[in-house]
Amino acid sequence: MKTTALFLLCATLALGAETPPAGKKDACCAAMAAAPFSAASLYQTDVTFTTDAGQPFALGALRGRPVVLAMFFTSCGYACPLIVSDMQAIREKLPAGIRERAAFVLVSFDTARDTPAALAAYRGQRGLDAQWTLLHGSNDAVRELAALLGVKYKQEADGAFSHSNLITILNPQGEIIHQRTGLQGGLDEAAAALAAAARN
C-alpha cells in the first residue's frame, strides 16, 4: 500500500498537478528507488557480479531500464556469437528514445576463463559500447541467475559449455516479460516486448 501511494504521489507531481515543497520531490523519488522489488523480480537476488571494468555489480542497478539479457561464454564458436548479434539486431529495431534507455547485459558461464579482463577484451572485439554490461560471477552467482532465467548449462570435457540459447527481456522492475528461445527468428517479437515494457 505504501509503495502504491508513493507511485501515485510521484505520478501526480510529474503531471504538475501539485507543486511540492522544497526537497519533497527528491524525497519521493528516493523513496520510490528504495521501494521493494516485486515477487517476480530477478532483482530480489542478492548475488553480486563483477563488470569487465572490475567493478562490483548487483542486478538491481538495472532497475528503471528495459533490459535485454543473455548468458554466454566468450570462447564459444557458434551459438554465443549469434546470440550477441541477435541482441545487437534487437537494439537496432527499437525506436531511438527506447534504444537509448535500454540496457544490454551478458553474463558468462565460464567463471574460470572469462575474467573481467577477458570480458573487456571481448567488448573490444565485438565493438560493444557503454550500453552493454558484461558480467563475471562466482559459480554460485551464475548458477542462481541461470536457475532464475530457466537457462541450463553444462561444461564439457574440452572446457566448452553446452547451454540453452535464450535472450530474456526484462521490464524496468526486473520481471521477465519475454524470452526468445533458440537461434532463429523472434527478433521482432523481442523488440516489441522491450518497447512495450519501456512505455509502461
**Parallel/antiparallel/unpaired status of strands 103-108 and 132-136:** parallel
Q: What pLDDT, on a 0 to 100 scale, did the predictor assign at position 184?
A: 87
pLDDT in tens, 14-71: 333 334 444 444 444 444 455 688 889 999 998 999 999 999 999 999 999 999 999 9
Among left, alpha and beta (phi > 0; psi -120 to 50; other), residue 122 is alpha
Quote the pLDDT of residue 14: 35
Please say if the pLDDT value at position 6 is more than 80: no
Other C-beta atoms closer than 10 Å to the C-beta of 112 total 10
Query: Which grid cell sits at 165?
Result: 540459447
| Domain residue spans of the chain | 2-33, 42-199
H/E segment holding residue 120: helix 116-126
Q: Which residues contact 142 (CB under 8 A, 6 or more apart)?
A: 71, 107, 108, 109, 111
Could you give the strand order of the β-sheet that contains 48-51, starting from the edge strand earlier in sequence? 56-58, 48-51, 132-136, 103-108, 67-72, 166-170, 176-181
For 73-124, the pLDDT digits (tens) are 999 989 999 999 999 999 999 999 899 999 999 999 999 999 999 999 999 9
Distance between CA atoms of 155 and 163, rounded to whole angstroms?
9
CATH topology of domain 42-199: Glutaredoxin (3.40.30)
CB 166 within 8 A of CB 150: yes
